[in-house]
Amino acid sequence: MTDDPTRLTLAEARDALAARSLSSLDLTNAYLAAIETARPLNGFLKQTPELARAMAGKADQKLARGEGGPLEGIPLGIKDLYCTKGVTTTAGSRILENFVPTYESTVSSQLWRDGAVMLGKLNLDEFAMGSSNETSAFGPVVSPWRKPGSNASLVPGGSSGGSAAAVAARLCLGATATDTGGSIRQPAAFTGTVGIKPTYGRCSRYGIVAFASSLDQAGPIARNVRDAAILMTSMAGYDPKDATSVDLPVPRYEAAVGASVRGKIIGIPKEYRIAGMPAEIEALWHQGIEWLRDAGARIVDVSLPHTKYALPAYYIVAPAEASSNLARYDGVRYGLRVPGRDIGDMYGQTRAAGFGAEVRRRVMIGTYVLSAGYYDAYYVRAQKVRTLIKQDFETVYASGVDALLTPATPSAAFAIGEKENDPVSMYLNDVFTVTVNMAGLPGIAVPGGLSDDKLPLGLQLIGRPFEEETLFSLAAAIEQAAPKMELPEPWWAA
């Protein structure tokens, strides 16, 4: 038994808890202490230590009776986009600063059903709109990673920046996250963690604050592929409260970790070789191809001709849906209210004060592309392009390809403040991930190695609909072959 239980993986902690060589209360207390020392990272918006200890105590009783669930006693962090009953849920926004839900999101309720312990709520970009966690109304998250010899603060990626930073800094065993254009996979890649966006419909969206409903999906961020697979099994499943959730059996995803990938056909989409791609990203991609080839997979070149249109189409579809979803924040039923001359002025003042710059910008863009006279030129055209993007994938999968391998991001993590005045340059972070949301497919980011600056780089695997198991097997093969990802030591605790 190691002295510091936060060094255990989720699977190791689960086994130690089941064997009664570790108590959930001791494990939970170790995490609560780690969170206390990590305040400079700003990963947690709300800590729930009393709730955590109460849940841990109950878990220990269940474990003592041999009645533990699949996650019994495992301390987790929850992205503050998931409604948690009786615990503030801000979505990273001033407009929901004091919002206390009276109900629980389906995905988090399934984690508690399976015995998990809630440590608190994790920071994020406001309403999940961002790729660096800098749009949070409650300050940016600082990555636990730094360049050697440098004290410059780096972004953990976004929008699930708090989730990725907390997992990489060993402040929780795993975290919930959400992904609308890359918000699970990009922060996972930036922090040397594993993140999976499952197929659209695999997880219920009920109780998750909506950004772009046709693109949003819940998923986990964890320290390795096995831990992500364990969490995925608890998070997935049909929910009558979400009409888009899919009624398919949930596999025990952990069983796919370590399964042979011999004979799997892996497509390499040539359109992902973008102009100006850094040599280290290209080299990582080649390395990933070799690892899968060595594991027995067959590599084929494929074409997804509409790839370059995915990001522009996304920046019409996502803001359009956001402008519609965020219409509910009007200062009447919940959230901030700023008084005005009349009710119209009250709406305007409330939304101007309650939304940050990026959210206001996206709501404005969305309002414009849905407005009379522009709807066909922008919104309908973007949804047609989306059909073409999905057809690209269908054609490739129909030819027998099992999964695609691409880089997860076009670069390693950048410094806080580096891109904040250039929205379009920030949007380009999602160039490799956004196609997957547009087509509703599953995608996983897995660490591949370090950049020249010794920062994590990730590879992405894109799967067929509802074939997350294949992704877990392939990601595990990469994890096995790649140099072991050594997470940073806690400089922030000094």
Q: Which of residues 231-270 bind other proteins (CB under 8 A)?
A: 240, 243-244, 246
DSSP 488: P
Q: Which of residues 170-199 bind other proteins (CB under 8 A)?
A: 199
Q: Which of residues 290-329 bind other proteins (CB under 8 A)?
A: 306, 308-309, 312-313, 315-316, 323, 327
Q: Shortest gap between Cβ of 55 and other proteins (angstroms)?
A: 23
Single out the residue of 46, 49, 337, 488 in contact with other proteins (rule: CB under 8 A): 337
Single out the residue of 87, 439, 471, 474 in contact with other proteins (rule: CB under 8 A): 439
> What is the enclosing helix (H) or strand (E) of 362?
helix 357-370
183 annotated active-site:
yes
Cβ atoms of 190 and 409 closer than 8 Å: yes
Q: Which of residues 83-122 bind other proteins (CB under 8 A)?
A: 98-100, 102-103
The DSSP-derived string for 47-74 is E-HHHHHHHHHHHHHHHHTT---TTTT-
Single out the residue of 2, 260, 371, 399 in contact with other proteins (rule: CB under 8 A): 371
Closest CB to other proteins among 153 and 367?
367
Single out the residue of 134, 321, 330, 402 in contact with other proteins (rule: CB under 8 A): 330
46 annotated active-site:
no
* 340 binds other proteins per the rule CB under 8 A: yes
Q: Which of residues 343-362 bind other proteins (CB under 8 A)?
A: 343-349, 351-352, 355, 360-361
| Cα–Cα distance, 473 to 256 (Å, whole number) | 5
| Cα–Cα distance, 423 to 426 (Å, whole number) | 5
Cβ atoms of 179 and 185 closer than 8 Å: yes
Place of tokens 């499952």: 198
* 205 binds other proteins per the rule CB under 8 A: no
Contacts of 133 (CB under 8 A, 6+ apart): 123, 124, 125, 140, 141, 155, 156, 157, 158, 159, 161, 162, 165, 187
| Cα–Cα distance, 116 to 176 (Å, whole number) | 12
79 annotated active-site:
yes
What φ, ψ does residue 159 adopt, rounded to 5°? -85, -15
Q: Which of residues 405-424 bind other proteins (CB under 8 A)?
A: 423-424
Closest CB to other proteins among 192 and 201?
201
Cβ atoms of 432 and 408 closer than 8 Å: yes
Single out the residue of 190, 378, 414, 432 in contact with other proteins (rule: CB under 8 A): 378
Closest CB to other proteins among 175 and 365?
365
**Catalytic pick from 105, 109, 183, 473?**
183
Q: State the catalytic residues.
A: 79, 159, 183
